[in-house]
Amino acid sequence: MTKEQRRVLEIQRLDYQPDGDYPLDLEIFRVSDLRRRVGTEILGSTHRYAFLTLLCVTRGVCTQLLDFESVPCAPGSLVLVRQGMAHSFGPEEDWDGWMVLFRPEFLLPSSLIEVSQTGVSDLDGLPTHLVPADTEAAMVTRAIAQMHDDTRMGAAAVDMHALLRYQLCALLTRIRIIHAQNEARGAARSPASQRFKEFESLVEKHFAAWHHASRYAERMGCSEKSLARATMDSAGMNPKAFISARVVLEAKRLLAHTELSVSDIAERIGFSDLSNFVKFFKREAECTSMEFRRRQTPFHRGSTSKG
């Protein structure tokens, strides 16, 4: 595939570019408004963002596509689209919801949040998809609607940024609490589940260099059997499969988002031998890397604004 062909297949990156002279670093609008603004065809295309997006479904059902996986959503569903994720709003049109767009630097520094032990600027603790209870979803929806109304106050930008930063801090903290309570209602944090959480965090940091479960078990100070039990109980797969899934996801992101050659991608995720990567990817993705790259939907170029 030529460089030009790869460029055509590259998933479009969208920067934070509000319409007109909107002065704020956070924007809130309804999906229905975005649909009227850009059209359903562009909305159904796959993009990746240079900003963070919180989607709150308020009406109807839809299927969000995140990193090539389907995420079914109903009223109350919350979806956090992080930077670099491949995202599509899916084929459905009879649904609506709020979208909160903000640059990562808009988050409050954790040093300013004395009540938080983890720091709300660290989004790793927030799930990509969360389904709150009805009362919890209503609170989140009201908070977003209030923020939307406040963006229209017409106050000085410096004052609006201060207000919206604290509101965003409160919103994300509320979502973090809802997530923690959901986990607590599902099951108590057993030693095995804590072990899996530690393993999951280590995989996210080291998947490109550590491909073997033994390396993680050694770092965690546990046996491979203990790690296997914890991973099977929490994720329904063994540690090797969990690591492989994260590695192949990164390969898919690079194939879809960049023009890097397959050999460069292989090197980035820890394969010194290209043939080993080719075999690995075909086994895990059930297609070759070039077949996967060709399957990505070409996008429509032009001025597309998300905000």
Whether the per-residue pLDDT at 141 is higher than 60: the answer is yes
> Residue 163 is encoded by which pair of tokens?
């207000």
Q: How far is CA 159 from the centre of its chain?
A: 30
> Is 100 in the same domain as 168?
yes
Question: pLDDT tens across 182-207, in order?
Answer: 877 655 567 888 889 899 999 999 99
> Is 252 in the same domain as 144?
no
- Asked whether the beta carbons of 187 and 159 are under 8 A apart, the reply is no
How many CA within 13 A on the CB side of residue 119?
9
Rounded to 5°, the CA angle 53-298-40 comes to 55
Residue 213 lies in a domain: yes
> Is 123 in the same domain as 158?
yes
Residue 302 lies in a domain: no
User: From CA 34, how far away is CA 42, in angstroms rounded?
Assistant: 10
pLDDT at 124: 61
pLDDT at 277: 96
Q: How far, in Å, are 119, 132, 232, 297 from residue 68 at the CA level? A: 30, 24, 23, 12
Report the sign of the C-alpha dihedral through residues 183, 186, 191, 193, in that order: negative
Question: pLDDT tens across 253-290, in order?
Answer: 899 888 899 999 999 999 999 999 999 999 999 999 99
- What is the pLDDT averaged over residues 159-184? 89
Q: How confident is the model at residue 13 (pLDDT cuts 50, 70, 90)?
A: confident
Count up the domains in the chain and report the number: 2
Residue 303 lies in a domain: no
Whether the per-residue pLDDT at 239 is higher than 80: the answer is yes
Residue 88 lies in a domain: yes
Whole domain around residue 67: which residue ranges? 3-186
Report the sign of the C-alpha dihedral through residues 96, 22, 129, 120, in that order: negative
Phi-psi category of 244—alpha, beta or left, where left has phi over 0 and alpha has psi -120 to 50? alpha
Question: pLDDT tens across 79-102, in order?
Answer: 999 888 889 898 888 999 999 999
